[in-house]
With several copies, the nearest count.
Chain A
Amino acid sequence: MANLATKVCGVTMDPPLVLASGILGVSAASMARVVRCGAGAVTMKSCSLEPRAGHKNPCVLPFEHGMLNAVGLSNPGVAGASKVIAEFRTLSRAPLIASIFAGSVQEFGRVAERIAEARPDIIEVNVSCPNVHSEFGAPFGGDFDATAAITRAVKDAAGAIPVAVKLTLQCPSIGRMAKVCEDSGADAITAINTVGPGMLLDLATRRPILSNGVGGLSGGAIFPLALRAVFEVRRHTGLPIIATGGIATGDQAAQMILAGASVVGIGTGVYTRGVTVFEEVARELGDWVDSTPERSLEALTGAAHG
């Protein structure tokens, strides 16, 4: 089978399939298991300076076409996350991406500085979580200047550790936003976070089902939106792209590669196809690469733009 190993910001992921942030990313043991199930790298659940409790249940809500979630960024804080990184290193040699968020530009810098000490392979900057408006104001990810400032602050704090900025569709132009990140020093783009938010109501009680009222949309429903986002990011920048959004098959992963992704993130696919989705997508992706004249993922990356 084709060699799928892929280098992003100097970090080798084999296969180029990454566990997306917020999925099974709270403990070292669970991330190590995801690696045993075929992931080439894992992303931790986003962490903040201090621990956060998150929202009450229901906070995850499957529906016919995907999933709504409003977990509320529950996390053990950067200190707890750093311990998890250290523990993960004892269990697995796969690359680990730490994900961070914060309520201000300065705080992003502080969290980055702290997490950098734990030496993750990449720091992913979550400027785009749709579930924490009230506490942190509108998501930074919709604002070019705020995103630029956060990117610079995190880069300053991260030292040699590469920084990926995770973008949202809830912005005027995701392509231009990616360019802003590139110009501000980002080393990679992750696209996309959940879409919306959305809502589902229960007819009997007439209430939103999610305890938070609304939640971010993920899964199959958003695949075409994520694909087009990746296509746009590639048109606007030369940065490597971690493509995330609705991917659960090799066909979808391949579309992302053609659109410009270097590696592919899987979140909700762990639900729709089970945790061995990584093994399965790797096999399907490999078969596809083998069926092309190029027989090389790198040569296929962005080929839809050719």
Chain B
Amino acid sequence: MDDRMRTWPLLEVVEHNPGLKSFYFETDSEVQPGQFIMLWLPGVDEKPFSVSDVDDGRLEVTVKAVGPFTRKLMECRPGERLGLRGPFGRPFAPAEGPPPLLVGGGCGVAPLRFLHRHLERRGLSSTFLVGVRTAADLMFREEYAGGLAMVVTDDGSLGERRLLPDKVGELLANQTYGTLCAAGPEVVLSTLKKLAESRGIPSELSYERHMKCAVGLCGECCLEDNGLRLCVEGPVLRHPLPR
């Protein structure tokens, strides 16, 4: 896998909940948690997805059906060939020192889960919090129901009934973390950014914007305020920001 497009056979599909599946591909690439790939459904379209794990030469992406592309993707069966290029973008880079707090909201659970596992495999500890609207939205529910991560839901259908930012505020108040690493809806991210700022710790936040080229040329993913390209300088941005 590299910047050039190539098709790979889909090795396995795991359904977490209706409309929420993980897809597995063989891979020969180094991927860092927070990076994304472009996934091509030939004849349909190509869209960005965070890598949710790379383990034993298998790359995993975990996708929620939200529109035409992701619904078509849900129909794909093992053996079909899908296009992949990547990995792209700046990964999570939690500071050394105190363990980081990892926060995944909604589909943002995917890259955080990879980061969590990645740290674990290196013997590094971290605190992992996931938040979704309702239990059915939770990726890797099997894993987290077992206590691997703290779970909050808006409706209390799983774990604590709590809004994600509230829970983060509580954790930050009670313990010192090195970095706040998070992915999720942008409104959530901006709240988290402020929480981290107020505690004086850096945050590493992953933003999801529409992407076209994924290689820093088309301008589709640029931030309005500073022109940074989320496909190159992001999707994970460290605050404070680079040039």
Contact = CB atoms under 8 A, between A and B. Distances in A.
Give yes or no for direct A-B contact (beta carbon below 8 Å): yes
Interface of A: 22-27, 29-34, 36-37, 45, 56-64, 67, 69, 71, 200, 202-205, 207, 209, 211, 267-268, 270-271, 274-275
Contacts of B40: 57-58, 209
19 contacts: A24-B227, A27-B224, A29-B223, A29-B225, A30-B222, A33-B222, A33-B227, A45-B219, A57-B38, A57-B45, A58-B5, A58-B40, A58-B83, A59-B213, A71-B212, A71-B213, A267-B217, A271-B215, A275-B232
Contacts, number: 109
Contacts of A203: 7
A43 B204 CA distance: 32
A29 B219 CA distance: 10
Name A's interface SS. Answer: loop
Given A33-B227, A61-B4, A207-B42, 14 more contacts: A24-B229, A25-B219, A26-B218, A45-B219, A57-B40, A57-B212, A58-B5, A60-B212, A60-B213, A60-B218, A71-B212, A202-B5, A209-B83, A211-B45
Contacts of B42: 202, 205, 207
A209 B5 CA distance: 8
B5 A23 contact: no
A26 B217 contact: no
B38 A32 contact: no
Nearest to A200: B5
A244 B94 CA distance: 40
A36 B5 CA distance: 31
Interface of B: 3-7, 38, 40, 42-43, 45-47, 81, 83, 212-220, 222-229, 232, 243
B142 to A, nearest CB: 32
B40 to A, nearest CB: 6
Contacts of A274: 216
Nearest to A64: B4
A64 B222 CA distance: 26
A263 to B, nearest CB: 20
Given A26-B222, A27-B222, A207-B43, A60 B215 contact: yes
A26 B219 contact: yes
A202 B7 contact: yes
B226 A33 contact: yes
B219 A61 contact: no
Contact of A23 (B6, B47, B219): B219
A204 B7 CA distance: 7
Nearest to B42: A205
Contacts of A267: 217
Nearest to B225: A29
Contacts of A59: 212-213, 218
A60 B225 contact: no
Contacts of A29: 222-227
- For B40, B45, B227, B232, the residue with the greatest tally of chain A CB atoms inside 10 Å of its CB is B227
